[in-house]
Amino acid sequence: MSDDGGSREPLRLNDGHHLPAIGLGTFGLTGEAGIAAIVSALGLGYRLLDTAVGYGNEWEVGEAVRRSEVPGEDVVVATKIRARDHGYDATRRSIAESRRTLGVDRIGLHLIHWPNPRLDRYVETWQALVAARDEGEVRSIGVSNFTAAHLETLVGETGVVPAVNQVELHPHLPQAAQRAVHERLGIRTQSWSPLGRGRVLLERPEVTRPAERLSASPAQVVLRWHHQLGADPVPKSADPGRQRENLAPVGRLTEAEMDAITGLGRRGGRLWGGDPETTHL
C-alpha cells in the first residue's frame, strides 16, 4: 500500500520521467466554457491534463495551456489513440495530428485508449508509439483499459513495458488483481472515473465516517483511498471549488478505513459496462 497521497510531488515512471500524482479529466470540457474550466484548474495547481482524440477537445486543452499563466513546459498533457487509428501507419498519423491539434512539439503522455482485441492491431499500435517516443514526438507512452493478458502480449512481443495503464478504478471496482500486475511489471496505475457514481458512493458510511474524522469531504476521502492504494486519480470537474477540493491533500486513512472502502467493491461494478475485451472506442 502506497502513501503517495501525503504530497503532490511528481511520481517517477519506469522510463525515468515523472508524472503528477493527480490529474484533471477533461471529458466533456469543450468550447469556451471548457477552456475556462481547464485554465482554472491550471491556476489552482493541476499539472496533468487528460484528454483523448475521442473526447473531441484536444484543441481546447492546448488552447487552455496557451492562455494559462503556467509555462507550457510545466504541464503534462496526456492524449489517447482511438480504435480507428490502430495499426502502425494510422497511429503515426494520429500522433502527428494530435501534436498539431494540441499545438505542441512533443506530447507528454500518449496512451492507447482501448486494446480493441478484435482488431488485433494493438501490438502494431504500441510499436508506433515506441517509435514516436524514440524519435522525440512523445515523452512517455502507456495504455488504457489493458488487461493482464493484453499487457503480457505487448511486453512479450516488443520488450517495452508501458509506463502507465489508465483503468476504471473506484471503490465499486477496486481492481486488486490488475493493480498487482501493474506493481509486478513496474507500471503506474491511473484511475479514470475515480469517484464512481457520485452520490451513490459518496454517501456511504464507509466514506462519510473517515471524512468526518479527517474534516474532509467524501470526495477527498475517496481520492485519498486511491493514493494510498498506489493509484493516481484523474477526477473531472469544471467547478473551481471542486477542483480545489480534489487537489487538496488529506490526512492518512487507517488500515480499517481503507479495507472498508475497498470492501465496497461489487460484481458488475463497472459504470457503463466498459469491457476491455469488447469495447470498441
Model confidence at 5: pLDDT above 50: no
pLDDT band at 197 (very low <50, low <70, confident <90, very high): confident
Closest CA to 52 of 31, 25, 33: 25
Is 107:77 a contact under the CB 8 Å cutoff? yes
Q: What is the pLDDT of residue 268?
A: 85
Residue 122 among the catalytic residues:
no
Model pTM?
0.96
The string of pLDDT tens digits covering residues 102-124 is: 999 999 999 999 999 999 999 99
The string of pLDDT tens digits covering residues 119-145 is: 999 999 999 999 999 999 999 999 999
The string of pLDDT tens digits covering residues 227-261 is: 999 999 999 999 999 999 999 999 999 999 999 99
Model confidence at 266: pLDDT above 70: yes
The string of pLDDT tens digits covering residues 59-89 is: 999 999 999 999 999 999 999 999 999 999 9
Closest CA to 151 of 173, 176, 191, 179: 179
Q: Which CATH code fits 8-197+229-249?
A: 3.20.20.100
Annotated catalytic residue, options 46, 55, 88, 122: 55
